[in-house]
């Protein structure tokens, strides 16, 4: 993924303030997210029982941890699980447009291909 997409994910993750919405600070948020991290570390997948707020809080926690670690590595290199988190949010039945992560280049290409191939759009 490009550095530009990293920046888009960083900006998106910062739009949800996990300390205010879920926990009082980094330590409390870390503990709250422990079951999610455990499931992900055990099975390599975001648990399907996780709601939007927990997932947004997890992405927020990771972006804050990235910043406080110095941000020397690209965000998605240091925390590759953010891809799975963003995908789980994007596919969640309760997702709103405000929650949705930025589209990847591949999603944009797929969307334009669908629109280009939609026969109802090409025939008037």
Q: Domain ranges for the chain, please list them.
A: 3-119
Give pTM, 2 decimals. Answer: 0.82
CB 32 within 8 A of CB 122: no
Buried residues in 79-111 as b, exposed as e (16+ CB within 10 A): bebbbebbebbbebeebeeebebeebeeeeeee
Confidence at residue 104, expressed as pLDDT on a 0 to 100 scale:
78
State the CB neighbour count (10 A cutoff) for residue 113.
Answer: 10
Q: What is the pLDDT along the chain (124 residues), one digit of tens a residue?
A: 455 899 999 999 999 999 999 999 999 999 999 999 999 999 999 999 999 999 999 999 999 999 998 888 999 999 999 999 999 999 999 999 999 999 875 554 554 454 555 555 444 4
Which alpha helices (H) appear in 1-124, and where do they start and end?
3-13, 18-21, 26-32, 34-43, 52-68, 75-78, 81-91, 105-117, 119-122
Instruction: Find the helix packing angle between 3-13 and 81-91, rounded to 10°.
Output: 60
């Amino acid at each position: 993924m490009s550095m530009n997409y990293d920046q888009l994910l960083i900006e998106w993750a910062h739009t949800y303030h996990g300390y205010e919405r879920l926990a009082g600070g980094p330590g409390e948020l870390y503990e709250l997210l422990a079951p999610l991290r455990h499931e992900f570390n055990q099975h390599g997948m975001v648990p399907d029982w996780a709601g939007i707020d927990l997932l947004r809080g997890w992405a927020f926690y990771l972006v804050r941890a990235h910043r406080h670690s110095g941000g020397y590595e690209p965000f998605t290199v240091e925390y590759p699980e953010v891809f799975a988190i963003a995908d789980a949010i994007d596919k969640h039945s309760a997702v709103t447009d405000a929650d949705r992560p930025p589209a990847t280049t591949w999603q944009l290409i797929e969307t334009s291909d669908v629109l280009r191939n939609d026969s109802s759009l090409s025939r008037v």
